[in-house]
Structure 1
Amino acid sequence: MSVRDRVEEIYKQVLLRNAGEPEFHQAVAEVFESLTVVLDRHPNYADGALIERLCEPERQIIFRVPWQDDNGNIHVNRGFRVQYNSVLGPYKGGLRFHPSVNLGIVKFLGFEQIFKNSLTGLPIGGGKGGSDFDPKGKSESEIMRFCQSFMTELQRHIGEYTDVPAGDIGVGGREIGYLFGQYKRLNNSYESGVLTGKGLTWGGSMVRKEATGYGAAYFVAEMMAAKGDSIEGKKAVVSGSGNVAIYAMEKIHQLGGTSIACSDSSGYIVDNNGIDLELLKEIKEVRRGRISEYVDERPDAQYFPGGNIWNVPCDIALPCATQNELDDVAAKSLVNNGVKAVAEGANMPTTPGGIAVFREAGIAFAPGKAANAGGVATSALEMQQNASRDSWSFDYTDERLSKIMRGIHERCSTTAEEYGKPGDYVLGANIAGFVKVADGMFAMGVI
């Protein structure tokens, strides 16, 4: 059986064993596309059912989360934690609270996390979790009660040497605080390394809030430099308006570019003078409002309800909202409008068709497992500080983040060249992430 036939056979098994999980199938297919090149050169990676084991989580935990609203009504949500692969270190990955969360979504995120964490060069394995609970429209008390109920079950499965969750969509500093408080209460100990994304006064790290967005911008800067260019003077379009999007725009501005558009689920805004980030932070982080409010205070800006933000001409595109938001039609629009670089701030926001358009057009395209690894990298730095009972300055932590992102870019770039595809960051990221994990799995035997 040829290598390609072997990989296709394994993929068919993945489809059969994980029916009804399209996002997970998509994530596996993208990695498998790169693996045939590796297996042609290193057929030993097909031994010991290594690839099959890589596709099967070490542990999948699903649990009931009952909670009471302010009117005394009882609600029941479902909680998840997929502890995917711990060969490089304790499971590490965020918790997502959103109505779309299901087992397939969590598995896709956890699978991606394995390779993302591998690329950072830090000793962390891959995992992910969350719930179909929607924090929107809930009171502070309701969110607290939900988080306490969620952690009452999750706490028995995590620990600083076992599994270290963090935040994701719907889980920010507020939720991490409630989760950590309940963990501390139930375990009667102050294990600050069990969660990351904590408040600065109780074990959190500088730059953690900014890290994913900053890291994506640093990666873009490296991609531009590889082409003899820079972010200086470039216009960027960024989907989303949460932490990742806001701080990607902030770092783009610091590096000399201008972010001119961003979005939320209701539509998008365009401000050709540059997005006023202080105003945006006030609307989204303090008021928890909608992006449409931005134009009320910036009359030169425009708000477009619905629509497609990727029709806005730009030099740099950063999809930072959610999975599969940028399809082949949107990708063609970006290419036709002269985009130079695309980096995924979210997890798998570009469809396979969109990725194909960028690769065929020769556009520098960075997959999420490389471009948005800054968040988990800084979480690992937070774990280091917790372990040493230390606290680093903003500038020192930011420099560490910048160095890590340069290292990820170097690993992706060098690996792509080694396998005959210079500039192909998708291939480079998948192979570089895979090889490190595969070598570790071989070293530890069939477990």
Structure 2
Amino acid sequence: MGKSKSEVIWGRRCHPFFNGSILVIVLSQCFSAPSQASSDQSYETLRQWISADSPNANELTPGQHLTEKDREKYLEQLIPQSAWEYYIFAGMDMEIGATGHYPAPQNWNQKSATDYQLDEQGVLVGFTGGKFPFPEIKPDDPEAAQKATWNMLWRPGTDNYDMPMVTWLRSENGQLDRQMEFVGVSATYARGDHSLVPGYEEVKSKSIMEFRSPRDMAGTKSMTITYVDHYKENSGWMYMPAQRKPRRTLSSERTGESMGMDMIKEDALGFSGKVYENNWTYLGKRSVLATVNVRDNPEFGGPHLWVPHKARWEVRESHVVLIEPKADNHPYSYRIVFIDAETYWTHWMFAFDREDDRLLRMNQHFLKYSESYATEVAQQAPFVKQDYSKNLGYNVFLHLGETDINAKKPHATLTHCYVKKRNFSAARAKQFYSLRNMTSGRR
């Protein structure tokens, strides 16, 4: 039986030679200096980093600040190697927080379907939310990668919010190319044993996004409906004031950038594509640094102002999942996602160019636990004020933003999210998530 592409590439090794001059060259390639290693963003190198022994994170203490001087001892051990070039820099300040335990909502697992399974393509069938479909991931399970991903796709806290956002598009050296402001509103419909709106049991969630700026996009709205049936394509509409009526959008197009942002639709929150369009491999668990339960939307630092700076990080145990697109025309040869082993939020995603297996895009996410708003209140959006006390009592993580980097351009898209949890009644949701409401200008 022939080997898969991943097995062939992963099977490469540095061969020993006994000629002295050749040995020096070979060793310099196998064990390059830190400056050279920083620029090695190949798929093979990240696989080697993942397979290395996880460090003893117990040596880190809460309140400790890591700088560039801690590169070899801590940073290179806990930051995935493909990100070293951006995340390890002169003047960096990374505060270490205590690795927390973040319990799920009290009603989680109480009202959920029990008759569900993965089909022959790894698609979750018969599940309607309300819990993690696979509370235990066994490393020797041949479907472990898909199961960890389904937990990520159905985790609590993904929807039910008002989310003003600001996005900055930056070139190298911190040059600001564009700034955008918009607001997202989302609601979970599939809630285990019932739907938010009776009669809409086939709907998983609905969301609306409205642009405020730049001026040429102000008032533009998009609405997306995702379905419980994973084989069914999302429904999408876009409304532009100049056109005066919504038009359907093609939800099956998931691999193109839009509005100059450094991501494709599938990159959202690490992976939001179709499970059956990919091959899956579970690579085990790895401890990584992650911006979990940050105090606030982090400022951006580094030579290009692309990455979080002076933020709080935790060491988090993560499931590492390898995703290989089946389509020959997909831009990625491989995607590697680090998914929190407790909360199932994505921390890091790395996608590699099909042409040369080198890093094409990556993203990294900033999260804040809802209950931390009792003592650490995040900043407000620049264009609207919200009552963040509404976040208390949900016991979920809120997405405070992310950095998306296109390594080939090179360019980055940086986003701050200002999240307030929101509950919809059935009547309000039915009225709000409608084409009529998209054109009315009401929120």
TM over 0.5: no
Q: Could you tell me the TM-score, scaled by structure 1's length? A: 0.31
More strand by share: 2
Q: Could you tell me the TM-score, scaled by structure 2's length? A: 0.32
Larger Rg, first or second structure (1 or 2) = 2
More helix by share: 1
